[in-house]
């Protein structure tokens, strides 16, 4: 049997559907932070950039070698073509 005080307590603690909004809000916030970091900082090679971290791509290294005169234009173009070539379907050469 419910008394008036018990009924007031039960009414005050009634379940509301907006209660489920808060976990989804935090998940959405984490997703937005992840997407922003992925599209900006991580894509550029980190906070310090690829050159300071010592991680350059093969085309950048090849371009630097060509600029320093270590290789000529013909060798530069040949190596760039090999680096830029997409891997073939099927797993390898025969």
pLDDT for 94 beyond 50: no
The helix (H) or strand (E) run that includes residue 9 is helix 4-12
The answer to whether the beta carbons of residues 62 and 76 sit under 8 Å apart is yes
The answer to whether the beta carbons of residues 77 and 69 sit under 8 Å apart is no
For the chain, the structural domain boundaries read 52-86
The whole-angstrom separation of Cα 57 and Cα 44 is: 12
DSSP 13-59: T---GGGGHHHHHHHHHHHHHHHHHHHTTGGGTSTTHHHHTT---HH
Render pLDDT for 31-87 as a digit per residue (tens, 0 to 9): 999 999 888 877 666 555 554 445 678 889 999 999 999 999 999 999 999 988 877
For helices 73-84 and 58-68, angle between their N-to-C axes, nearest 10 degrees: 180
Kindly report the pTM of this predicted structure: 0.37
């Amino acid at each position: 049997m419910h008394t008036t005080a018990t009924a007031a307590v039960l009414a005050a603690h009634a379940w509301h559907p907006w209660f489920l909004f808060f976990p989804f809000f935090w998940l959405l916030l984490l997703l937005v932070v992840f997407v922003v970091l992925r599209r900006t900082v991580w894509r550029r090679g980190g906070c310090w950039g690829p050159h300071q971290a010592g991680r350059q791509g093969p085309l950048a290294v090849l371009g630097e070698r060509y600029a320093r005169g270590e290789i000529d234009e013909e060798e530069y173009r040949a190596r760039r073509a090999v680096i830029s070539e997409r891997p073939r379907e099927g797993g390898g050469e025969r």
